Amino acid sequence: MAKVRVKTFSVIRDVLGSDVVEIAVDKPETVGGLFDVLLHNYGEPFKEKIWDPNTGEIAAFLIRLNDEMIRSTSDMSKEIKDGDKIALIFPIGGG
Amino acid sequence: MAFKYGGYIGQLLRVNLTNKGITKETLREDWARDFVGGVGLSARIIYEEVKPKIDPLGPENKLVMMTGPVNGTMIPAASRSSFCAKSPYTGSFFHSIFGGFLGPEVKFAGYDGVIIEGQAKAPVYIWIDDDKVQVKDATHLWGKDPFKTQEILRQEIGDEEIHIATIGLAGEQKAPYAMILCDIRAAGRGGMGAVMGSKNLKAIVVRGTGGVTVPNVLKVYNTAIRLNEVLSTNPAVKGLSEYGTPRNVGAMNEAGILPTRNWQTEVFEGMKDITAEVMREKVVKGDRACFACSINCTKYSVVPSGPYKSIINGADYEAIYGFGSCCAVDNIEALCKADELCDHYGIDLISTALSISWAMECFEKGIFTKDDTDGIELKFGNADGMLQMIEKIGKREGFGALLAKGTREASKIVGKDTFRFAIQNKGLEFPGHTPRPFPACAVGYATGPRGGSHHDIRPTPEKTGLVDRKVFEGKGALAAEINHWLILCDSMLLCHLAEAIWGPMKISDDTIEALNVVTGWELNYEKARKIAERQWNMIRCFSAREGFTRENDQLPVRFMEEPVPEGPMKGSYIPKETLERLKNDYFSYRGWDLKTGNPTKEKLIELGLDFAVEDICL
């Protein structure tokens, strides 16, 4: 099991209730596994902030995994480990 | 007689301020079909009517306010309008776009657009009251700030529902980056306010009681309902209603892409005090929406007392970036005051902020001392010094007169290598969206007709990971297709904040559907794309006729020579040779001449722009 610290902003932070939450991710210990846990823990309010009902897919955004930037669209199988810091760079767009 | 296509009024208003001549002209059907409206149509008109190399602040320049066919219908995120002219700030064709209610009101008054030409001898305003149009004396308004001007006009006319575009002191003084305030929204960039001021035109006042005719109301209704549903459920749009554009601040800092201290770095240590969350907790009192828009992105904010007492519609992300992280000021109330002062004087917020952050870096490097800056300790983080300097820029007083020229001109005057950290292209300062880690965004900024505008290119596809930011191949093509969806939207006057449905990679089906249901056209993607390509080439032709070439397509020296020094984007930059390769990629994809960067004869003929061949093709 990997215990990771998840940092979020604005509307997603509002759902999670804090700037940073600690999440325990059991198998698979991957970024995708983390999202499964977040969905389980925070349910529909979290899902509607991050899944697009019109495409049925997760929105495109960058994720900061420690000091590496990865993508929600291609890196869900990326492994995570105990103590990792993960930030969801979302919502974001042009001003 | 009804116009051939739905959504259009079919009539343009022309006001000659030299002789107070007012004429109403039938909109050319072929120009509507080929250039749509808004920016595309304005570009065609200005190319036709404004001679090359004229003084942008002389009577020969024309200021065109244009709507689009979708304006004034129930389609959401489609309320914007455009002011276009030859820019006194960049020397190129410029389109400055604003939201709110003024665009729809012009259509309700019976016009697709207003062409303003000539130069009044004394201050005037234009009063458009449906079909009754007058040029009226504005002597009593000269010297008044935009909101006071609006208040007086509403009282004088006795109608609270009129909509007003007006300039402030900066526009009256023809300050290069003066803006036009349109009710509470700004046509901020490129000095459109200076053009207006050069014509002695203080305000445009509009009241319309008509409507917009579409071929099939039920079809438009159904499209509007569907698009509203998409907007309300799309994750990329969520957050704008609650937090407005500042929703970006925390996430961007975490990603190492929040420009800081005049772009010396892209991580701001004071970020936690200027986030959207802090703003909502401390100053936001309500939301405001544009015509027929369900997003409500504008925040109404109040600082009730103290040195930063202010009431604003904002602050938007660009204020938080420009006066916040770029000037290293971590006080949200001071940022509200800065925003209010820009409106008060009628100056572009981004150019003002970046001129000050440039001066702060000069101060930091010892190039300026208090002797140069009218006694102000112009250090990064000095909120009060920053506010004092905004006032001086607004009045063009003392050291402010230098900064009112913008960073390109100021750095030429100061010398000492300060051009290297003037964050501009073609004279226009950059918004808070970095291109250093994003190659499509970089080439888009460089080749954009306006220069440092995030509305000629969008960082979103690379910034969200829709495409791999680390891949350079194909980024010229991506930039071109982003140009196309943007310019088509700017011709329909759709809001870029709804880019998730109008773009974000290329012209979307939703954009085409909105255009088709309103006009009755049956465009497919290829036809819509061809219109957009024609519009983009039209604007490039204007620049080429003015003497612009690929040499003008640049990035700030800092972006080409200084890698991001810290954070997760550490090491990112766009070396000069990389930019030149990206430009080749972009020009090749567009079918433009690699040496000059201009459209070729073959491309112009293909797009029906034959009339421009002899102007720009050697």
Average pLDDT of A28-36?
Answer: 97
Residues B542/B48, Cβ–Cβ less than 8 Å: no
Residues in chain B closer than 8 A to A94 (CB atoms) = 433, 454-455, 458-460, 496-497, 499
B260 DSSP 8-state letter: B
Domain membership flag for residue A95:
no
pLDDT exceeds 70 at position A95: no
pLDDT exceeds 60 at position A73: yes
Q: Do B251 and A89 touch (CB under 8 A)?
A: yes
Q: Do A89 and B247 touch (CB under 8 A)?
A: no
Contacts 24+ apart (CB under 8 A), B561-564: B561/B420, B562/B264, B563/B436, B564/B256, B564/B265, B564/B266, B564/B434, B564/B436, B564/B437
pLDDT exceeds 70 at position B16: yes
DSSP states of B419-463: GGG--EETTEEP-S---TT-HHHHHHHHH-SSSS-TTTS-SHHHH
Residues in chain A closer than 8 A to B277 (CB atoms) = 10, 13
Q: How far apart are CA B526 and CA B611, in angstroms?
A: 23
Q: Minimal Cα–Cα distance from A47 to chain B, Å?
A: 9
Residues in chain B closer than 8 A to A10 (CB atoms) = 239, 242-243, 247, 250-251, 276-277
Q: Minimal Cα–Cα distance from B564 to chain A, Å?
A: 14
Domain membership flag for residue A67:
yes
Residue in this structure with the two tokens 């810290």, named with its chain if needed: B566
Q: How far apart are CA B209 and CA B204, in angstroms?
A: 17
pLDDT tens digits along B212-264: 999 999 999 999 999 999 999 998 888 899 999 999 999 999 999 999 999 99
> Considering its fold, how many domains does chain A have in total?
1
Q: How far apart are CA B207 and CA B299, in angstroms?
A: 25
Q: Which amino acid is at B294?
A: S
pLDDT exceeds 70 at position B371: yes
Is A61 an 8 Å CB contact of chain B?
yes
Domain membership flag for residue A51:
yes
> What is the pLDDT at residue B372?
98
Q: Closest Cα to residue B478, out of B497, B459, B452, B502?
A: B459
Residues B8/B112, Cβ–Cβ less than 8 Å: yes
Q: Do B238 and A49 touch (CB under 8 A)?
A: yes
Higher-confidence residue of B236 and B89: namely: B89
Q: What is the pTM of this model?
A: 0.98
For the CA atoms of B464, B469, B471, B472, what is the dihedral angle to 10 degrees?
120
Mean pLDDT of chain B: 97
Q: Do A93 and B460 touch (CB under 8 A)?
A: yes
Residues in chain B closer than 8 A to A54 (CB atoms) = 230, 233-234
Is B276 an 8 Å CB contact of chain A?
yes
pLDDT exceeds 70 at position B1: no
Is B314 an 8 Å CB contact of chain A?
no
Residue from B228, B299, B463, B464 whose CB has the most chain A CBs within 10 Å, to mutate: B464
pLDDT tens digits along A1-21: 999 999 999 999 999 999 999
Q: How deeply is B594 buried, as exposed, middle or buried, from its count of CB atoms within 10 A (0-12, 13-18, 19+)?
A: exposed
Residues in chain A closer than 8 A to B315 (CB atoms) = none
Average pLDDT of B169-196?
Answer: 98
Residues B105/B142, Cβ–Cβ less than 8 Å: no
> What is the pLDDT at residue B238?
81
B51 DSSP 8-state letter: P
Domain membership flag for residue A72:
yes
- The CATH number of whichever domain residue A7 belongs to comes to 3.10.20.30
Domain membership flag for residue A12:
yes
> What is the pLDDT at residue A47?
95
Residues in chain B closer than 8 A to A72 (CB atoms) = 465
- As for the ipTM of the complex, it is 0.97
Average pLDDT of A21-39?
Answer: 96
Average pLDDT of B162-167?
Answer: 98
- Please give the domain boundaries of chain B with CATH numbers for all domains: 11-207 (3.60.9.10), 244-428 (1.10.569.10), 436-554+575-616 (1.10.599.10)
Give helix then strand counts, H and E, for chain A: 2, 7
Length of chain A: 95
Q: State the DSSP H helix or E strand holding residue A63, giving kind and residue range, or none if neither.
A: strand A62-65
Question: Over pLDDT 70: what percentage of chain B?
Answer: 100
Domain membership flag for residue A38:
yes
Q: How far apart are CA B76 and CA B85, in angstroms?
A: 27
HEC profile for B476-505?
HHHHHHHHHHHHHHHHHCCCHHHHHHHCCC
Residues B61/B91, Cβ–Cβ less than 8 Å: no
Residue B617: pLDDT band (50, 70, 90) is: confident
pLDDT tens digits along B453-466: 999 999 999 999 99
Q: Quickly count: other Cβ atoms within 10 Å of residue B571's Cβ.
A: 11
Residue B483: pLDDT band (50, 70, 90) is: very high
Q: How far apart are the first and last CA of chain B?
A: 44
Residues B33/B132, Cβ–Cβ less than 8 Å: no
Q: Do A10 and B239 touch (CB under 8 A)?
A: yes
Q: Which amino acid is at B213?
A: T
* Alpha-helical runs (H) found in B36-75: 38-49
| Residue B4 CB partners (closer than 8 Å, separation 6+) | B10, B29, B32
Cα–Cα distances in Å, from B286 out to B86, B138, B279, B296, B575?
Answer: 37, 33, 12, 10, 44
| Residue B313 CB partners (closer than 8 Å, separation 6+) | B184, B185, B288, B298, B299, B300, B301
Residue in this structure with the two tokens 């020094």, named with its chain if needed: B565
pLDDT exceeds 90 at position B2: no
> What is the pLDDT at residue A94?
62
Q: Closest Cα to residue B449, out of B526, B328, B541?
A: B541
Task: For strands B298-303 and A2-7, give the pairing.
Answer: unpaired
Average pLDDT of B431-458?
Answer: 97
Domain of residue A80 covers 2-89
DSSP states of B359-397: HHHHHHTTSS-TTTTTT----TT-HHHHHHHHHHHHHT-
* Alpha-helical runs (H) found in A1-95: 10-16, 31-50
Residues B21/B133, Cβ–Cβ less than 8 Å: no
